[in-house]
């Protein structure tokens, strides 16, 4: 696979805004459910939705994991345990899906456990007590298209439209610090938007970029 979201300085590719782009096989319409994925490459399907419990809970993660969020668009907050007894807590999953919803439309996405685990891993590495401040998480395709009309570099396909990306900040932690820790964890996409004061994290293939 080839992706065009790399940090130009590191990979000599053209950067893009919070996006999962560049692989032509992934430029089709967003498919909201696992059952509709048959026409998309198996590798993408395996990456995208509803991970198995084994995939979602690597052995090195603790059996019980919690997170804390504030959505800066809605001022809603949540903190608690999202993973226990080998599965996501149902009530927590619903609450998190609500916190991470598309604030423009109110639409929710299915909560993506690897994304929660990524946030857990970074906050654990940061030894942070502060909540994640959510600037943007799930976006409908319509919302993504609205963003593209303003930000021309935003991609047509974005991990945000799959519920697999967040744009975050944290009090007391710079974007550089958050991105550096995320790179050490080596998961997914890590976009350091330091000038705009946030970091994009997603659960696609590992890649980094800076804006
Ligand atoms: Zn983003």
Residue with tokens 């919803």, as numbered in its chain = 101
CA 9 to ligand 1 centroid distance, Å: 19
> What DSSP string describes 156-183?
SS-GGGGT-EEEEEBTTB-HHHHHHHHH
Cβ proximity of 23 and 6 under 8 Å:
no
How many A from CA of 164 to the centre of ligand 1?
10
How many Å lie between the centroid of ligand 1 and the Cα of residue 21? 12
Within a domain: residue 192? Answer: yes
Centroid of ligand 1 to alpha carbon of 85 (angstroms): 31
* Domain enclosing residue 151, as ranges: 8-210
Q: What CATH number is given to the structural domain containing 21?
A: 3.30.1380.10
Asked whether residue 1 is domain-assigned, the answer is no
Confidence band (pLDDT; 50, 70, 90) for 59? low
Q: Tell me how far the alpha carbon of residue 191 lies from the centroid of ligand 1, in angstroms.
A: 7
Tens digits of residue pLDDT in 83-121 = 999 999 999 999 999 999 999 999 999 999 999 999 999
pLDDT per residue over 123-150, tens digit each?
999 998 899 999 999 999 999 998 888 8
The per-residue pLDDT for 35 is: 34
Structural domain contains residue 173? yes
Q: For the segment 154-168, what is each residue's pLDDT rounded down to a tens digit?
A: 777 799 999 999 999
Span from the CA of 165 to the centroid of ligand 1 (angstroms): 6
- Number of residues in the chain: 211
SS3 state at 152? coil
User: Does the residue 114 lie in any domain?
Assistant: yes
**Higher per-residue confidence, 173 vs 19:** 173
The H helix count followed by the E strand count for the chain is: 7, 8
What is the number of domains present in the chain?
1
Domain assignment present for 12? yes
Q: Is residue 194 part of a domain?
A: yes
**Cα 69-177-123 angle, rounded to 5 deg:** 35
The answer to the question of residue 3 being in a domain is no
């Amino acid at each position: 696979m080839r992706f065009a979201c790399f940090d130009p300085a590191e990979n000599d590719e053209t950067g893009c805004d919070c996006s999962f782009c560049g692989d032509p096989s992934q430029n089709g319409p967003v498919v909201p459910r696992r059952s509709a994925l048959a026409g998309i490459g198996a590798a993408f399907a395996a990456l995208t939705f509803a991970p198995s419990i084994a995939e979602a809970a690597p052995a090195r993660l603790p059996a019980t994991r919690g997170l804390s969020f504030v959505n800066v668009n809605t001022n809603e907050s949540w903190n608690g345990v999202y993973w226990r007894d080998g599965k996501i807590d149902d009530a927590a999953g619903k609450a998190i899906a609500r916190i991470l919803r598309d604030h423009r439309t109110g639409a929710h996405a299915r909560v993506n456990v690897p994304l929660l685990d990524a946030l857990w891993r970074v906050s654990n590495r940061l030894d942070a007590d502060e909540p994640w401040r959510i600037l943007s998480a799930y976006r409908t395709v319509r919302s993504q298209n609205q963003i593209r009309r303003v930000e021309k570099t935003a991609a047509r396909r974005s991990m945000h439209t799959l519920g697999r990306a967040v744009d975050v900040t944290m009090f007391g932690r710079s974007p550089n610090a958050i991105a550096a820790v995320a790179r050490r964890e080596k998961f997914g996409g890590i976009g350091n938007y330091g000038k705009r004061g946030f970091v994009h994290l997603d659960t696609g293939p590992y890649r980094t970029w800076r804006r």
